[in-house]
Chains A and B, each alone.
Chain A
Amino acid sequence: DGGITQSPKYLFRKEGQNVTLSCEQNLNHDAMYWYRQDPGQGLRLIYYSQIVNDFQKGDIAEGYSVSREKKESFPLTVTSAQKNPTAFYLCASSGLKNTGELFFGEGSRLTVL
């Protein structure tokens, strides 16, 4: 079945460590996105990519980095510069003729100890 796979589902990290969250899709979608979800704040866009080797900052990109070397993959690195990294991270994708429907992965919950 086609879909989006995020890993790991749960991740713990110590302060000062970088961590990379994986996102893979087999939907043949051109666009991919990373959102951060915090209680009571909805979803906020971190980065998005509309094509391989290109990506744009979203509303809260500081302290995060991404790469898009393959169409299927859009990993997110949470760096030590991110001041409050504990959150639920959601990856999504959409087709070229985007009708607004985003397909989401099941999320990765990051906890900083």
Chain B
Amino acid sequence: AQSVTQLGSHVSVSEGALVLLRCNYSSSVPPYLFWYVQYPNQGLQLLLKYTSAATLVKGINGFEAEFKKSETSFHLTKPSAHMSDAAEYFCAVSGDTGFQKLVFGTGTRLLVSP
């Protein structure tokens, strides 16, 4: 079975500060990892994905994530937070049966203050 742990249900940053959202995974096979973003009362949108190519993955809106096998981590970062980044972020790992069944973390709500 595969699982994802997101550390911190809420993260608060000031506008312009570094954003760091943590994700650790557990997988018995080489994982495929994803970050999704959800704005209030909306569906999820893919930010970026790791599918065994480059370990540093760049996504939309200036976000990036680094796959670290030794640490079983896939943390999401952005150098400078913007007010529009306030949302909930979900890390996900592909299931044992392949891409079809993503296993999601419990989410981290990012709060950005002026």
B51 to A100, Cβ gap below 8 A? yes
Q: Which of B32, B34, B41 contacts A107 (CB 8 A)?
A: B41
Q: Considering the complex, give the chain B residue whose CB is closest to the CB of A101.
A: B46
Q: Considering the complex, give the chain B residue whose CB is closest to the CB of A50.
A: B100
Q: Given the complex of chains A and B, what is the CA–CA distance between A48 and B98 in angstroms? A: 13
Choose, from B11-19, B62-70, B74-82, B104-112, the stretch at the interface: B104-112
Interface of B is mostly: strand
Q: Mark B78-110, 1 if CB is under 8 A from A, else 0.
A: 000000000000101010001111101111000
Q: Say how far B107's CB is from chain A's closest CB, in angstroms.
A: 5
Total A-B pairs, Cβ < 8 A: 59
Report the interface size class on chain B.
Answer: 20 to 34
B99 to A100, Cβ gap below 8 A? yes
- Which A13-55 residues have a C-beta within 8 angstroms of B? 31, 35, 40-45, 48, 50
Interface residue? A110 (CB, 8 A)? no
Interface of A is mostly: strand
Q: Given the complex of chains A and B, what is the CA–CA distance between A100 and B104 in angstroms? A: 12
User: Which B residues contact A (CB, under 8 angstroms)?
Assistant: 9, 32, 34, 36, 41-46, 49, 51, 90, 92, 94, 98-102, 104-107
Closest 9 CB pairs of A and B: A104-B43, A98-B99, A42-B106, A43-B104, A42-B104, A100-B99, A104-B44, A101-B46, A106-B43
User: Which A residues contact B (CB, under 8 angstroms)?
Assistant: 4, 31, 35, 40-45, 48, 50, 58, 90, 92, 94, 98-102, 104-107, 109
